Amino acid sequence: MMFPRTGLYAITQTENKTPEQIINEVSAALKAGISVLQYRDKQAIDAVYLAGALKELCHAHNIPLIINDDIKLAKLIGANGVHIGQDDGQLNYARKILGKNAIIGVSCYDSVERALEAEQNSADYVAFGRFFSSNSKPLAARAHIATLQNAKNSIKVPIVAIGGILPSNGAELLAAGADMLAVIGGIFDQAPYQSVLAYQALFK
């Protein structure tokens, strides 16, 4: 399954939620038209069960499932790929474990240089952010709109923007060069189906 060139990149919101709640919310988001799902769970109780259930849901909608940070979990459940940050292990290691067809994304924060290096090392997409205040990553360093503009001029793989993105501010990031918008709270803080539809309008 290929990584899409554009669209809404949903990231699970798992804190204080049961697996059933998470599955139901993701199901609603899929029906509304997300393009990718990332399973992110910093305090997982049964990650194998939940990630496996999410994979089945995503594949029923022909949408790739990406696992945050955990290369072993991605391999174990047969996810489409993994997203790695600065301290999550080398891209080359992930590629070796998951194979040439896996989708591997890399967090580049505010660094076009890091994104170029990731692209050269076979990353399938690069992610910049946070761009706005974020409840999910309140301490993350800020990224700048100019970084997206510079990246668009030099990077060929899809560019993902993340961090406090709402339907009201997402258009600015797309205009600057983002191909995809990655969202947690903006989708899962309230009714996911209606929330996704609000973001979809930005891509039309």
Q: What's the token pair of residue 204?
A: 């039309």
Q: Which domain, by its residues, includes 71?
A: 7-203
100 has a pLDDT exceeding 80: yes
pLDDT digits (tens, 9 = 90+) for 150-204: 999 999 999 999 999 999 999 999 999 999 999 999 999 999 999 999 999 999 8
Query: Would you state the pLDDT for residue 4?
Result: 97
Residue 113 maps to a domain: yes
Q: What is the CATH number for 63? A: 3.20.20.70
Packing angle of the helix pair 112-120, 145-154 (nearest 10 deg): 30
pLDDT at position 136 is 67
Is 1 part of a structural domain of the chain?
no
Confidence of residue 134 (pLDDT cuts 50, 70, 90): confident
How many structural domains are present in the chain? 1
| Tens of pLDDT, residues 50-82 | 999 999 999 999 999 999 999 999 999 999 999
pLDDT band at 42; cut points 50, 70, 90? confident
Domain-embedded: residue 130? yes
Q: What are the helix (H) ranges across 126-184?
A: 145-154, 170-176
| Average of per-residue pLDDT across 16-35 | 97
Using CA atoms, how far residue 54 sits from 21, 30, 78, in Å, is 12, 11, 11
Q: Is residue 81 part of a domain?
A: yes
Residue 164 forms part of a structural domain = yes
The pLDDT value recorded for residue 88 is: 58
Residue 137 has pLDDT above 90, yes or no: no
What is the helix (H) or strand (E) element at residue 107, kind and residue range? strand 103-109
Q: Is 186 a domain residue?
A: yes
Per-residue model confidence (pLDDT) at position 109 = 95
Region 19-40: what's the mean pLDDT? 98
Under the phi-then-psi rule, with left for phi > 0, alpha for psi from -120 to 50, and beta for the rest, what region is 177? left
Looking at 12-87, list the stretches that DSSP marks H as alpha helix, in order from N- to C-terminal side: 19-32, 47-60, 71-77
- 44 belongs to a structural domain: yes
Average pLDDT score over residue span 10-22:
96
Residue-level pLDDT at 162? 97
Report yes or no on 2 lying in a domain: no
CA distances 159 to 15, 46, 65, Å, are 27, 31, 17
Percent of the chain with pLDDT over 70: 97
